[in-house]
Structure 1
Amino acid sequence: MNDTTKYLLAVVAGLALLWFGYSDYQTQEERLENAVEIDATVLETDIDRRSSSGSGSSYYPVVEFEYTYEGETYTSSNIDAADSRTSESSRSSAQSVVNEYPEGEAVTAYLDPAEPDEAFLETDRSWGPYLFALIGAGLTLAGFVSLTRALIADRQREGV
């Protein structure tokens, strides 16, 4: 695979991440704007650990809860309104989130009536959509600049 193809793929991947971040931001804003309070019960909590070779481990707090809306019973594990899950840098940070929701406890959850199966526990805005958009913008810009430089260098080599 030549450099031009690699840079073009970086631009495409960056645009995809940028689109996902924007879409997730829109979803989060819509859910928060339309949110109604509901009663829920915490069913189970856990911490999901994910390891990567370069950056170590990330910890994702998991809180599964059950609720009823308009006669239907649902379960959800969304902590915030965004679709992207945000991780914690340490197990203790993830544990502190989980500790806020003891199993069996009644809690207040929120949902957008247009998406009753996507309830969430916290109304704070998640930074996940912003992070995806920022990484996407950076990758798009870096790929575009590198692609432009490669194309200019190719033209100069060809004597055009």
Structure 2
Amino acid sequence: MDHVKTLLKAGACVFFALVGWNQYMEYRAAKNWPSVNGTINGIRVESHTNTRSNDNGLRRTETRYEVKARYQYEVKGMHYTGHRISLNSSTHSYSSRSSAESTLAQYPVGKVVTVYYNPEQPDKSLLQR
């Protein structure tokens, strides 16, 4: 049984290392992505509540608030819709609604924003890099 646990832990470590490496490489590439102007056409705060139990059976409920954006931009005559504010989605996940709303206030509907896009896949974009 200990052998199985060790293999599972090793597999999880490899998985998270690969995911982390891919995110790191995307982060590095995004620093050089070109930019265009875009327009915010939707933004909202969503709440997600999770209940977890610890080893002692104690239950803990946590609510997280995420800022969800929608923006339009154009690259070489093609129109795109973006949703990502940044590469790290946890950057826009908050433990309080007021913190999420302060990010929300930065992107009012109709605001012209700088959109950074992947030149090889223009449908992949960010507002912050």
TM-score by length of 1: 0.68
Match of residue 114 from structure 2: 108
Match of residue 58 from structure 2: none
User: Residue 124 of structure 2 is aligned with which of 114, 118, 123?
Assistant: 118
Percent identity reads 27
Structure in which a larger fraction of residues adopt helix: 1
SS state at 1:102 partner: coil
- Tell me if the contact between 1:37 and 1:108 (Cα under 8 Å) persists in the aligned partners: yes
Between 2-11 and 114-123, report the one with greater CA deviation. Answer: 2-11
Distance 1:71 1:58 in 2: 38
SS state at 1:92 partner: helix
Say how many residue pairs are matched.
119
Match of residue 127 from structure 1: none
Distance 1:52 1:8 in 2: 29
Match of residue 24 from structure 1: 23
Note the alpha carbon deviations across 1:66-95, whole angstroms, 9 max, x for none.
Answer: 001001000011111x2x511222221111
Q: Does 1:48 align with 2:46?
A: yes
- Tell me if the contact between 1:61 and 1:94 (Cα under 8 Å) persists in the aligned partners: yes
Q: Does 1:36 align with 2:34?
A: yes
Distance 2:13 2:49 in 1: 23
Aligned CA distance change for structure 1 residues 40 and 19 (closer, same or farther; 3 Å): same
Match of residue 9 from structure 1: 8
Post-superposition offset of 1:57: 1.8
- Tell me if the contact between 1:109 and 1:121 (Cα under 8 Å) persists in the aligned partners: yes
User: Residue 69 of structure 1 is aligned with which of 66, 71, 75?
Assistant: 75
Post-superposition offset of 1:30: 0.4
Give the aligned CA root-mean-square deviation in angstroms. 1.5
**Structure 1 letter corresponding to 2:8:** L
Distance 1:58 1:3 in 2: 35
Structure in which a larger fraction of residues adopt strand: 2
Which structure 2 segments of 5+ residues have no match?
53-60
Note the alpha carbon deviations across 1:36-90, whole angstroms, 9 max, x for none.
Answer: 121101011111222221361222111110001001000011111x2x5112222
Aligned CA distance change for structure 1 residues 16 and 32 (closer, same or farther; 3 Å): same
Query: After the TM superposition, which parts of structure 1 deviate over 2 Å for at least 4 consecutive aligned residues?
Result: none
Match of residue 93 from structure 1: 99
